[in-house]
Chain A
Amino acid sequence: MKMRPDPVRGVLVEELANAESRLAMYARELNSMPRGSLVSRNIRGNQYHYVAYWGGGKVRYEYKGKMVPADIRRYVESSKMKAKYRGLMADLRARINFIKRALHERKRRAI
């Protein structure tokens, strides 16, 4: 007997594919952004800038010298966006698990 297409299952399958591709999209976007976050230090009245990043099991600092305000702004904005993307990626992972469980349950009930 031919089974009637299940629109709910269709939506779930579509949303799962969307969530997985969006997770990959944010991962790509994060990789394309400048590494680390900007740290400013005031030493004897002068501002020095470093980019702090995690590497080899410890926090490393890369000296950036004197930076123009536009570059500083770029780093600050990129840090904000990175935090935003990481939060959205966490939501996406939770959603992928939720949809997978729902699909599994619908399949189990249909048997």
Chain B
Amino acid sequence: MDNEKYFGYAGKILTVDLGSSDYVVENTPFDLIINFMGGKGFGAKILYDGLKPGCDPLSQDNIMVMATGPLTGTLMPASGHIALSTKSPLTGIWLDSHCAGFFGPELKMAGYDAIIIKGKAKKPTVLVVKDDKISFEDGKDLWGKLIFESQELLRQKYGENCQFMCIGPAGERKARFANIVSGGRGFGRGGSGAVMGSKNLKAIVVKGTKAIRIHDFDGFMRMCKEAYNELSVSPDTGGGRPKYGTNSIYSFMIEAGAHPIKNFQTGVFEAVKECNEDVLDKKYYKRHIACFSCPINCSKASRVDDGKYKGKFTEGPEYENMWSLGAQCGNSNIGSIIYGEHLCDEYGLDAISAGNVIGFTMECFEKGIISEKQIGFRANFGNDDAIIKFIEMMAKGEGIGELMSQGVRRMSKELGKGSEKFAMHVKGMEMPAYDPRGAFGMGLAYATSDRGACHLRAWTLGDEVLDVQERMDPFATEFKAELVKNQQDFFAVIQSAVVCLFLNFGLTQRQITRCIQTLTGIKEWKTTEDILKIGERIYNLTRLFSMREGISRKDDTLPERLLKEAVKEGPTKGVVVDLDTMLEEYYLVRHWDEEGRPTKEKLAQLGLDKYRV
């Protein structure tokens, strides 16, 4: 195309080959933008076309695509996110992971819509991107160091006005759910840190000074102002979320029986009187922290002021980690949760998977499947010392920590003795902080999420439990398929625009798409439906990606515990999830066949006809 003008976009894609220390800068293709928008969408298209099917995710053949979208780094509220797409070493299928904070805006200001990372460096490397200057620097002094020390050293070397992405010892040794940290946030799930470690890439440094242009200036300013106002009066983004962060739902999830206790064994958590969002707010939260351009400031800086964990601090703790290191392990000691979350960030481990695996290990210990001798200490539920020890062992690969750090699917397969029935994962991704027996829609969400058990492709609890439209029942299968599909498609748009998912809890779909339209001026995106179709296209493409890597209908399932084992007490007593009914309806709504494959007609409608299953 001639004279392409980019509004919102930076206009360039940087492709780096770590093996040859070489790079190429190209214009961002206009048809990639129109059909896939950015972020997760860019990742889906680039990886489907460019990644060798069946390759080992920890080999030099794997590719990482870090991409922002048009709204990233702009006046749009909550526009600090960036998406990372790759093949997961934990699940062996599609992975997209999103990091909040400031890295995305800085990358765009440096002039790039995406960085594509290929190959493997011969020795530990730091990739430095400063506007047009790209360099591959020696990372051996940082290799082996914890993440916050590494970031501090990078700050001293490259200056205050840079942003960093960094792995820790867990990523360096390729623990399968190792994460990548940027500032105080991270690319949490699926093992992206292990991919980076397998490439000998310790860190990426970005500094940018370029401007981002607006197509319809008055229109975009008006939409941004409207968005800010709307967010401040919306009950969630203007109320609970700024005050309590993601923990605004904590006690209520327990009340609803949707907070899984002790590896999803029960629905009752006696300790909620001392461990809840109220206590966090009064005793531990010291400060509100926001991401780039965000008025919601859901993040918190917390510190322990007395007791065993005095002095420990974290940016958090998030609802997910309050669960994974808390109720999942039968633990109500908030100090240990704060310390544990921070340790995960220091070593570079996904705290959700870490806690899930620890809870699983505790159940195996209590059932006699693993002995005290094998572990080295007693590991009953509620033992906070054990939680801290396990985190370190998983990070360093010590003792049973090595097996644990491979993820709960591999661990349960290795242990056998029926443990696979309560290994709480889908497609190898450890389940997060919602029990589908408390809200059936989450069961369908977990079973059909494109990266394995995940709460960020569909989050049905608000609709199900509060039932604002008065037609939902958390324990029924009706309407769930439609709800899950619509959320997955819309969230894919948010994850390609790339902005924060929490906008979904304060703005309408139309408001968000109007922001995209006024910013970019892209003619092909005339209606909200045009933009939503991009989300549907992306979700079908990641499905094709994972099917090419071997998944099929049998993988769209839940652990036996949720399908056959009813909880014996509490609000969800007697409930098991009827997944089959919801799944059949889901395939119909998606126009996928009974094997879960996108039909030819659906692919043609989305312009994906050249792709086969």
Q: Do A and B come from one complex?
A: no
- Chain B positions within 8 Å of A, measured between CB atoms, are none
- Chain A positions within 8 Å of B, measured between CB atoms, are none
